[in-house]
């Protein structure tokens, strides 16, 4: 505890200064054969595929010791690097992805869901790669990352986010996302950056056969993974039985296994000269009396995400023990490519860890929506975690209590929030533009966001809806 307290004291003094430097998917029998081109500095321009599995928690996956079979990700881990502990910086889709693509903590971006865009004025990873000669394409699987909801298309030549929305399922089918991304990749003649987003694991939990019965084949109850069935539990009005909870968790695990199959064509098409990263924006809670949700959770079931990487120069079969944050992805990609680092961001490159070296661990921040009634903050490393409101806090010894069931009182609440504010300060001053006006989504978008729990009374995404 004393060591963690000392680390926290260092963190309090951090100012955020930069650190050094549904068609079926086409079969990919042969990898993309385009050789990497070379910059004026003599650096090879390796292509990059960044895959985001929305709402996938690490511990349920076979590749992290969980039940859900993930043979393709297991193979990827053998060929590359698996980060044992990666954490998100926010437990919502839009802002966690903005953090991923910029290396900047979510609060700098402002209330993206309310404004439909980010206040961040610096370059994104996408813009940096485009400026370096990359073709850039994004393929989006859910409403909460569409351009009209988030402004996330910045820097992309192609931003494919339009699809026929199914009110009963709330997602774009994963095979359609894969097909569109694979088609675009196959057309590229030079280096490319493909961002591919899958919404399949997000509620409702509706895996296709045989994944719908893979992990609970003998269930005899009546609950399904539909929004109608789960809503009372998500809203805290009902408590699921042990059997019903196990069944819903089995459906979620089925979705993860189905996703592993869905992304296989992209893993196959990548080829040896392509950097491939698979991660998530946040997990999902089935514990602590907080069911089938993530927005207000800071337990590791929501905070801890998968992070797998493979490609040129990376160590094969290596497991990174030091904690990564989502904001470290963009700086790491640029470092692996030999490109100049982003200027004055919160994330740091972990390329040396990807190359098999031991790197220094630092605590990471995760926050719930700061524009809602009461934000909460988590500060963690690989052994300990603090979860705190503005009034009180708890500490967990993750290495001894991984399920976070044995908290002790944390008395440094004020200092924790001071440290968080200090980390934001310089980056906000450097890169945060003026506040964006709130927008009024059109009726069809309101319907989609309401179904996903992101719209409050009167259809205002800036309001504080019932926590879902």
Report mean pLDDT in 10-residue bins for the chain, 468 residues.
46 36 35 48 79 97 98 97 98 96 97 94 97 97 91 97 70 93 96 97 93 95 91 89 96 98 96 95 94 92 97 95 97 97 96 92 94 90 95 95 95 94 96 89 59 51 41
The pLDDT of residue 385 is 97
Residue 439: Cβ within 10 Å count: 17
The two tokens of residue 399 are 């290495």
Q: What is the secondary structure of 361-423 as a DSSP string?
A: ---EEEE--TTSS---EEEE-SSEEEEE-SS-EEEEETTT-TT----EEE--HHHHHHHHHHH
Domains along the chain with CATH numbers: 44-362 (3.40.720.10)
The pLDDT of residue 455 is 53
The pLDDT of residue 358 is 87
Query: In this structure, which long-range contacts are made by residues 420-425, counting pairs with CB atoms below 8 Å and at least 24 apart in sequence?
Result: 420/365, 420/367, 420/377, 420/379, 422/12, 422/13, 422/14, 422/15, 422/16, 423/11, 423/14, 423/15, 423/16, 423/105, 423/346, 423/365, 424/16, 424/105, 424/107, 424/108, 425/15, 425/16
The pLDDT of residue 446 is 57
Closest CA to 403 of 229, 239, 286: 286
Render pLDDT for 292-315 as a digit per residue (tens, 0 to 9).
Answer: 999 889 999 999 999 999 999 999
Q: Each residue of 443-453: b (16+ CB within 10 Å) or e?
A: eebbbbbbbbb
- The separation between CA 292 and the C-alpha centre of its own chain, rounded to angstroms, equals 17
User: 103 with 328: CB under 8 angstroms?
Assistant: yes
pTM of the predicted model as reported, rounded to 2 decimal places: 0.88
Residue 274 phi/psi, 5-degree rounding, is -110, 135
Render pLDDT for 243-274 as a digit per residue (tens, 0 to 9).
Answer: 999 999 999 999 999 999 999 999 999 988 99
Q: Which residues contact 357 (CB under 8 A, 6 or more apart)?
A: none
Burial class (CB in 10 A: 0-12, 13-18, 19+), 344: middle
**3-class secondary structure, 279:** strand
Residue 440: Cβ within 10 Å count: 13
d(CA 176, CA 182): 10
d(CA 228, CA 168): 9
Show the DSSP H helices in 57-216 as ranges. Answer: 71-79, 93-102, 112-115, 125-131, 147-150, 174-186
- Strands 158-160 vs 377-380: parallel, antiparallel or unpaired: unpaired
The two tokens of residue 195 are 């961002």
d(CA 158, CA 153): 8
d(CA 335, CA 242): 47
d(CA 312, CA 182): 21
The pLDDT of residue 330 is 98
For the packed helices 413-431 and 2-12, what is the interaxial angle rounded to 10 degrees?
Answer: 30
Residue length of the chain? 468
């Amino acid at each position: 505890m004393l060591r963690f307290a000392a680390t926290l004291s260092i963190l309090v003094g951090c100012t955020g200064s930069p650190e050094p430097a549904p068609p079926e998917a086409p079969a990919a029998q042969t990898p993309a054969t385009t050789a990497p081109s070379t910059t004026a500095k003599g650096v090879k321009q390796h292509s990059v595929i960044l895959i985001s599995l929305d709402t996938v928690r690490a511990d349920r996956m076979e590749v992290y010791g969980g039940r859900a079979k993930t043979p393709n990700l297991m193979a990827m881990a053998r060929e590359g690097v698996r980060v044992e502990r990666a954490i998100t910086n926010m437990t919502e889709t839009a802002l966690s992805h903005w953090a991923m693509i910029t290396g900047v903590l979510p609060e700098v971006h402002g209330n993206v869901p309310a404004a439909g865009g980010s206040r961040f004025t610096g370059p994104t990873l996408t813009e940096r790669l485009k400026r370096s000669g990359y073709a850039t394409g994004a393929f989006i699987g859910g409403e909460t990352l569409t351009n009209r909801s988030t402004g996330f298309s910045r820097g992309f030549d192609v931003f494919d986010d339009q699809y026929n929305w199914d009110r009963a399922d709330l997602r774009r089918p994963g095979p359609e996302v894969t097909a569109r991304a694979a088609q675009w990749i196959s057309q590229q003649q030079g280096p490319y950056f493909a961002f591919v987003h899958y919404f399949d694991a997000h509620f409702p939990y509706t895996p296709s056969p045989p994944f719908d019965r893979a992990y609970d084949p003998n269930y005899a109850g009546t609950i399904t993974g539909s929004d109608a069935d789960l809503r009372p539990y998500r809203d805290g009005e009902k408590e699921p039985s042990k059997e019903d909870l196990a069944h819903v968790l089995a459906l979620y695990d089925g979705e993860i296994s189905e996703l592993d199959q869905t992304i296989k064509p992209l893993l196959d098409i990548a080829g040896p000269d392509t950097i491939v990263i698979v991660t998530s924006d946040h997990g999902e809670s089935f514990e602590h009396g907080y069911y089938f949700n993530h927005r207000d959770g800071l337990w590791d079931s929501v905070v801890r995400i998968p992070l797998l990487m493979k490609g040129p120069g990376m160590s094969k079969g290596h497991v990174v023990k030091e904690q990564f944050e989502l904001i470290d992805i963009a700086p790491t990609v640029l470092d692996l490519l030999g490109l100049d680092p982003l200027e004055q961001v919160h994330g740091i490159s972990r390329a040396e860890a990807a190359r098999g070296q031991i790197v220094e661990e630092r605590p990471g921040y995760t926050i719930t929506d700061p524009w809602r009634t009461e934000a909460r903050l988590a500060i963690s490393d690989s052994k300990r975690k603090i979860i705190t409101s503005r009034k009180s806090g708890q500490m967990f010894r993750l290495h001894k209590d991984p399920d976070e069931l044995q908290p002790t009182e944390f008395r440094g609440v004020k200092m924790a929030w001071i440290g968080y504010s200090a980390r934001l300060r310089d980056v906000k001053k450097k890169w945060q533009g003026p506040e964006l006006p709130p927008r009024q989504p059109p009726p069809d978008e309101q319907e989609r966001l309401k179904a996903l729990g992101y719209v409050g009374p009167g259809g205002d995404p800036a309001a504080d809806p019932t926590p879902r």
